[in-house]
Structure 1
Amino acid sequence: MQQGPPPPPPGADPQLWSWFTAVDTDRSGQLTVDELQRALVNGDWSPFNIETVRMMVNMFDADNTGTIDFNEFAGLWRYIEDWKRCFQAFDADGSGSIDAKEMHNALRTFGYNLSDRFVSILIQKFDKYGTGTGKGDVTFDNFVQACVNVKTLTDSFRAYDTDGDGWIQINYENFLELVIRQQA
């Protein structure tokens, strides 16, 4: 006899609990990266980039289990909703994706004064359709990943930029440490 989903925890948002239990296909009470990826879609109905999903799980996995429980999921959901509003605000043409001009505007608004050349490289890196198509735009999931990467790398850089002049000098191992910590 198949059981229905367990009742929501006290004080839980019933809609959010319903989504959580629908995504928790193995009924473990924990969401894996794969379960979460199957639940998240972009505006064009494409699944979220698995790297973006991993990054978000790592950010919200407070107990370091490699999965997220309902409380962690609630925090993650708020985070996604905040990013969705942000994405929609910068998608000036309403296309459902962010082009180079919109990305430049978003990054400038976030306090990053980056060159057109760098923004072009960022768009190429996070354009899921690939750099060969000339499309040159970024879907919601990749926009989140790009912005979080810029912030994380900037924070890492600033840890070495002790005088705040925008220049650092580091040895090879310090550079590797900076990059590896960012990727963890």
Structure 2
Amino acid sequence: MSNGGDYNPPQNTQVSPQAQQWFAMVDRDRSGKINSEELQSALINGRGQKFSDNACKCMINMFDDHASGTIDIYEFEKIYNYINQWLQVFKTYDQDGSGHIKEGELTQAFTQMGFALSPEFINSLVKKIDPNNKEVSVDQFIVLCVQLQCLTEEFRQRDTQQNGTITISYEDWLEIAIRNHII
């Protein structure tokens, strides 16, 4: 894979050569920063389509240490590694190699990841994502997993008695939803 241009990362960097190559290809304006549009142009899901705008914004926000709406090469390497880890997880559950996970495969994935979600809840997630085919692409899978992890952590912090129940005000709930890019 060529480096896509003449970008030279800072010397004495710990960034892997693969991440450096991808960063150089994605940083089309050579600013040394990548925004969600640039990231989106580089990522393809299992259906041969670009990752959704929502997935790219979600990942940029997760790794944007300076809240600038962009990521530098070091933050990009974190995303690069993160995506590769989720791709491996996705491939584990995409049992038929179709490039998407069906409802049953998603149920198995969530169960094995430790999420005790009802079949009705998973069905409603899948219907919301893909009402016609009831399938989840890799970018949608990543967004779902990230949102589940974030919301679960928010819940655990408030479940002080560890009984699976919390009491929360409406505004606190809205704050959680906004912070986790649900709304």
Task: Give me the TM-score of the superposition, normalised by structure 2.
Answer: 0.89
Indicate how the Cα distance of structure 1 residues 15 and 162 shifts in structure 2: closer, same or farther if over 3 A, else same.
closer
Residue 178 of structure 1, CA deviation: 2.7
Gaps of 5+ in 1: none
Say which is worse superposed, 62-71 or 7-16, in terms of deviation.
7-16
1:111-122 mapped onto 2 (5 Å cutoff): 111-122=114-125
1-side partners of 2:9 and 2:173: how far apart? 46
Correspondence 1:82 to 2:105: no
Partner of residue 29, structure 2: 26
Residue 84 of structure 1, CA deviation: 0.3
Equivalent of residue 93 in structure 1, options 83, 86, 96: 96
SS state at 2:51 partner: coil
Equivalent of residue 35 in structure 1, options 35, 38, 41: 38
CA-atom RMSD, angstroms? 1.6
Q: Would you say the 8 A contact 1:100–1:136 is kept in 2?
A: yes
2-side partners of 1:23 and 1:124: how far apart? 32
Partner of residue 182, structure 1: 180
Indicate how the Cα distance of structure 1 residues 116 and 16 shifts in structure 2: closer, same or farther if over 3 A, else same.
same
1:24-173 mapped onto 2 (5 Å cutoff): 24-127=27-130, 131=131, 133=132, 135-173=133-171
Indicate how the Cα distance of structure 1 residues 72 and 178 shifts in structure 2: closer, same or farther if over 3 A, else same.
closer
SS state at 1:183 partner: coil
SS state at 2:180 partner: helix
SS state at 1:123 partner: helix
Q: How many residues align?
A: 176
The residue type equivalent to 1:180 in the other structure is: I
2-side partners of 1:16 and 1:160: how far apart? 37
Q: Would you say the 8 A contact 1:52–1:144 is kept in 2?
A: yes
Q: Would you say the 8 A contact 2:103–2:134 is kept in 1?
A: yes
Residue 18 of structure 1, CA deviation: 2.1
The residue type equivalent to 1:9 in the other structure is: P
Task: Give me the TM-score of the superposition, normalised by structure 1.
Answer: 0.88
- If asked which structure has higher relative contact order (CA below 8 Å, sep 6+), I would say 2
Residue 177 of structure 1, CA deviation: 2.5
